Amino acid sequence: MRFALVIFETDESRRRIQADRAAYRKEYEGWIGGLAAAGKLVGGEALETERFRPATVRTAADGTPVVTDGPAHAGEETLGGWFVIEVADREEAVEVARSLPTPETVEIRPVLESA
């Protein structure tokens, strides 16, 4: 089964990145490399979270698109990227997410299989 691991940066992960970006990146890339070596990593992307603010487009009740400056959901956690993994089941996806050595929040979502 395929699952998306949706990564949300936290205040703590941002502090660690700013304190020592190279060490943080090495830790993160080691985790990714382990997933790839085990044949579980399908793909993924990191999002730019430091230099540019996101924009959000919502459709108003009258059908008009409204653009706001900032994330769709404001708060401590910031959408940082995602990985798609191929594992046996949800329990294994949870274990993979638990093995992330850095303090991001990980939301686990099954990927919709097309009919």
| Average of per-residue pLDDT across 50-78 | 90
Question: What is the band of 74 on the pLDDT scale with cuts at 50, 70, 90?
Answer: confident
Which three-class secondary structure string do you get for the chain? CEEEEEEEECHHHHHHHHHCHHHHHHHHHHHHHHHHHCCCEEEEEECCCCCCCCEEEEECCCCCEEEEECCCCCCCCEEEEEEEEECCCHHHHHHHHHCCCCCCEEEEEECCCCC
| Average of per-residue pLDDT across 58-71 | 93
Report pLDDT for 115: 62
Inter-residue contact 108 to 75 (CB < 8 Å):
no
| Average of per-residue pLDDT across 107-112 | 97
Q: In the predicted model, is pLDDT for residue 46 greater than 80? A: yes
Max mean pLDDT among 10-24, 67-81, 88-102 falls in 88-102
C-alpha–C-alpha distance, residues 101 and 94, integer Å: 14
